[in-house]
Amino acid sequence: MSNMVIFNNMKHDFTEAEKVLAEYIMQNYNEICNMTTYEIADATDTSPATLVRLAKKLGYSGFKALQIAIAKDTSKDTINTENLYEAITVNDSTEDIISKIALGNIDAIKNTAAIIKTHLIEESVNEILKAKCIHLFGIGSSYIVALDFQYKLVRINMLTSLHSDYHLQLVAASNINIDDVAIGISNSGKTQEVYNALKLCKERGAKTISITRLGRNPISAISDININTIEVEQQLRVGAISSRIAQLTVIDILFMCLMKKRYQSIPDYVRETDHIISSLKLK
């Protein structure tokens, strides 16, 4: 995955000086590897120290390490620095929208898979398997993702809790116990309702897991485990499209890892529910 994707997804966490640097790096992506920190700092009216802070915020040991990563990106000849995201506009044809949505969703899945840390998935699966009840929290499109996860978990006979009403979410959070696990889903990581519910769960002693976009945010800060996603930005944003696809990708990964862990007992549950549901279909 290109570092330019990470730049775009983490820009909300940058200081003003870091935003200037990030913009300069993206606009001069192919040349940045041959520039010194002083040259870049001078060109952006910032400082070498700001360059180092930006690199560390992106997960690198220093700016030299970031330059090496950028060099690997540019050597692949796959980066379109002029149009990283195919933004949907009001002038697009139906064919354009079909193509851009499909490619955007594919990119969201690939980029999310590239940043997911295996040990965090495994830790989350172990906590879910140990839990007496899995409490799910989400608002808006993230609630739909939580509902999908609940459906999957119920089919393999796991006890879950999910409420669309915010007051009921708080009631569920206040009644959680140390043997339960709470999973909060929020693309921005700043959804007040999810934050409040997850914080309450943590105060009650439950293990907390969150699924948020890449970067620091309030929800990830209070989570025992934070799994990141990458979304593809759209200029015409009428709904959480790629972010929802990225979240569903994480849910599917967690679910299949759960299936693997409980392989011996799960087939019986799946066969039984399949039989019941199939009997309801029209002939």
Check for a shared fold between 3-83 and 114-278: no
pTM over 0.85: no
Class level of CATH domain 114-278: alpha beta
Residue 155: partners with Cβ closer than 8 Å, 6 or more residues away? 269, 270, 273
pLDDT of residue 208: 98
For residues 232 and 242, what is the distance between their CA atoms, to the nearest angstrom? Answer: 6
d(CA 204, CA 207): 9
Phi and psi for 76 in degrees, rounded to 5?
Answer: -80, -15
Tokens found for residue 35: 């520039």
Q: What single string gives the DSSP state of each residue in 197-251? A: HHHHHHHTT-EEEEEEESS--HHHHT-SEEEEE-----SS-SS--HHHHHHHHHH
For 255-271, how does the pLDDT look when each residue is reduced to its tens digit (9 = 90+)?
999 988 887 766 666 66
d(CA 234, CA 232): 7
**Pairing, β 160-162 against β 134-138:** parallel
What pLDDT does residue 121 have? 98
Q: Got the DSSP string for 80-123?
A: -SS-SS----TT--HHHHHHHHHHHHHHHHHHHHHH--HHHHHH
pLDDT at 102: 87
All residue ranges of the chain with pLDDT < 70 are 1-4, 74-86, 232-240, 265-275, 283
User: Domain 3-83, CATH 1.10.10.10 — does that match?
Assistant: yes
Q: Which sequence spans correspond to the domains of the chain?
A: 3-83, 114-278
